[in-house]
Amino acid sequence: MAIAVGQTAPDFTLKSQYDKEVKLSDFKGKKNVVLMFYPLDWSPTCTQEHVCFVNDMKKFDTLDAEVLGVSVDSAWSHKAYAEKMGIKYSLLADFQPRGAVADKYGVFLPDKGITGRAIVIVNKDGRVAWVKNYDIPVVPDVAEVASALQQVKAAGA
């Protein structure tokens, strides 16, 4: 079942490409979080999506947001991918059990064994403030995400 705006965002702890554990609740009261669920490292559409986010990171920094990429790839795949792509934000390995976090957010595709493409904004209170699901071959509009984040920031200010 898909997550809905207003719900408490399910907490999780996942390992990043930096071999560090990242816990969603650590951002509570500090930053809004943009959870970027994507199918796989190295795929063409995901690569385009990450290029857009990397190019617009200053915008997300000014909006007081932490961007976290989440897919079923291993932390080692994330490390190689982040180095190749120049990604500085955390890429989280929803690897074992496969897709468990994506499943909590209603975006895991068990028949394909991958994460669907979705953006979830979690506000500083730990609640889902915005969510949008995308078809696998669609690159999310970073400007739309930034605009939604601006509204979330304004509501929490």
Active site residues: 46
Selection from 79, 80, 54 nearest residue 67 by Cα: 54
**How distant, in Å, are the alpha carbons of 7, 76, 102 from that of 53?**
26, 21, 20
Contact 90, 25 (CB under 8 A): no
> Residues 145, 62, 21, CA angle at the centre, nearest 5°?
75
